[in-house]
Amino acid sequence: MSSSDTPLRVMLIADPGVAARRIHKITDQFTDEVKDVMTKDVEVVVETRSVRISPDGTLDITAIGELDAEHLDADAVLVLTEVPRYEEGNPLVAEIYSEKRTAIISFPTLGVWATKRRIREIFMDCLLRLLPAEHRPVGEKYTQRWTEWRSTDQGDKHRLFAHTMTGDPRTILGMTVANEPLRTAPKLSGALAAASAMGAFGIFYYSIWEMADALSTVRLLSIGAAVILSMTAWLIFTNGLWDKPSSRHPGRVVMLYNGSTVMTLLVAVGVLYLALVVGIFLGALVVIDPDFLAELIGEDVDIFNYLDIAWLSAAMGVVAGAIGSTFDSNMDVRRITHGQREFQRRYSEEDLA
């Protein structure tokens, strides 16, 4: 069989979690696209594994070499990591090691929207740069408008950076997605139970009904927002989740981690608050007679009166009951909001032991 008939073998490696799920969703489309561009048969193999991290928080170059050694039969190795990378003052989207036939792509730098399309296009861009030069002109159509390729002093290494203005916000949002805040919410079940118990009193207290009717919609929304922010701040500081710059983790990198922690918990607490509102709302519909409520507040009752009661009762429940609660497990919250950094610490401790 001639070399032109030999299938192109591409390895896709992803960190466990959201990165691995994204890879599995794009594999078929990516394979078809590579076949169309290369006009030859392609074999794409997907593997889920964590790429080791060195004690200074960067990707371990030794581990990259091991990937190359493990996959000698691969024409290219594309790695999607959940590690947010930051170099030369900008988020680092991708890094190509030509001699090792390997490209490292940082999932958080891709942001929130259209991540599957962006992964596929950046994979194609990196793949075409790893392959012989005749394919590179085709790669121009996969260039992202918000990125820029730069060469390094090492001739075999090239880096793809996000633009300064949008790079940090996009990375923070991407890190939040990687933290999977909707999966964080169940870890707050203890706080939800305490808030539910206290918030349920709002169904039975006339004064809460009258206050909810008297408050404007704007004021009620402001109360809800203040409660969510307070609960988020409480969880961050009682669980020690706010990081400070150090020699290993400079201020800009720490800002990304702290920003993603805040965003993750805001989403999680917001989801729990809304769940509490829905629960109290349904309870109020069952318990509070509309004629009795109308007589008490002196006006006709509609569904929004019950929603106002539920909203205010939920806020009361969070402030009075849940503010003293925390995550079900301190280790759980660290895995959720700092999962990759915990992995870094474990690796560092084991490596230095």
Asked if 49 and 13 touch (Cβ cutoff 8 Å), the reply is: yes
Question: Can you tell me whether residue 278 is helix, strand or coil?
Answer: helix
pLDDT of 67 reads 65
Q: Are residues 187 and 158 in the same domain?
A: no
pLDDT exceeds 50 at position 347: no
Residue finishing a domain among 115, 134, 169 = 169
Q: What pLDDT is recorded for position 350?
A: 47
Same domain, 285 and 157: no
Contact 181, 273 (CB under 8 A): no
pLDDT at 138 over 80: no
Domain of 206 in residue numbering reads as 180-352
In this structure, are 154 and 14 located in the same domain? yes
Q: Is residue 50 part of a domain?
A: yes
Residue 197: the pLDDT is: 79
Confidence of residue 211 (pLDDT cuts 50, 70, 90): very high
Q: Which residue has the higher pLDDT, 293 or 336?
A: 293
Based on the domain organization, do 116 and 190 belong to the same domain?
no
pLDDT greater than 70 at residue 352: no
Residues 42-67 have pLDDT tens digits of 899 999 887 766 655 556 666 666 66
Same domain, 136 and 201: no
**136 in the same domain as 30:** yes
Between 239 and 81, the more confident residue is: 81
Pull the structure tokens for residue 11.
Answer: 């390895």
Looking at the structure, tell me whether residues 336 and 190 fall in a common domain: yes
Same domain, 146 and 112: yes
Section 168-185 average pLDDT: 84
Residue 27 lies in a domain: yes
pLDDT average, residue stretch 176-193: 76
pLDDT tens for residues 102-136? 899 999 999 887 788 999 999 999 998 888 765 55
Residue 19 falls inside a structural domain: yes
Question: Does 217 share its domain with 135?
Answer: no
Residues 6+ apart with CB under 8 A from 100: 64, 65, 67, 68, 77, 156
Does residue 226 surpass a pLDDT of 90? yes
Query: Per the domain annotation, does 79 fall within a domain?
Result: yes
Specify the pLDDT at position 279.
92
Tell me: pLDDT of 174 over 50.
Answer: yes
Q: Tell me, what's the pLDDT at 17?
A: 83
119 and 228 share one domain: no
Residue 63 placed within a domain: yes
Listed in sequence order, the residues at least 6 apart from 51 whose beta carbon sits closer than 8 Å to its beta carbon are: 13, 15, 59, 60, 63, 64, 67, 79, 81, 83, 104
Q: Give the CATH number for residue 154.
A: 3.40.390
- Is residue 285, in this structure, part of any structural domain at all? yes
User: Which of 28-37, 125-134, 186-195, 306-315 is the least confident region?
Assistant: 186-195
Q: In terms of pLDDT, which residue wins out, 244 or 137?
A: 244
pLDDT value of residue 15: 85
Task: Please give the Cα distance from 200 to 149 (Å, whole number).
Answer: 56
**What's residue 142's pLDDT?**
81
Instruction: Show which of 169, 189, 210 is a domain's final residue.
Output: 169
End-to-end CA distance of the chain: 50
Single out the residue in 150, 169, 188 at which a domain terminates: 169
pTM for the model: 0.81
Q: Confirm whether 174 is domain-assigned.
A: no
The Cα 317–Cα 202 span in angstroms is: 9
Please report which confidence band the pLDDT of residue 285 belongs to, taking 50, 70 and 90 as the band edges: very high
Q: How many domains does the chain have?
A: 2
pLDDT recorded at residue 310: 94
Residues 10 and 148 in one domain: yes
Q: Is 175 among the domain residues?
A: no
Residue 247 and residue 302 in one domain? yes
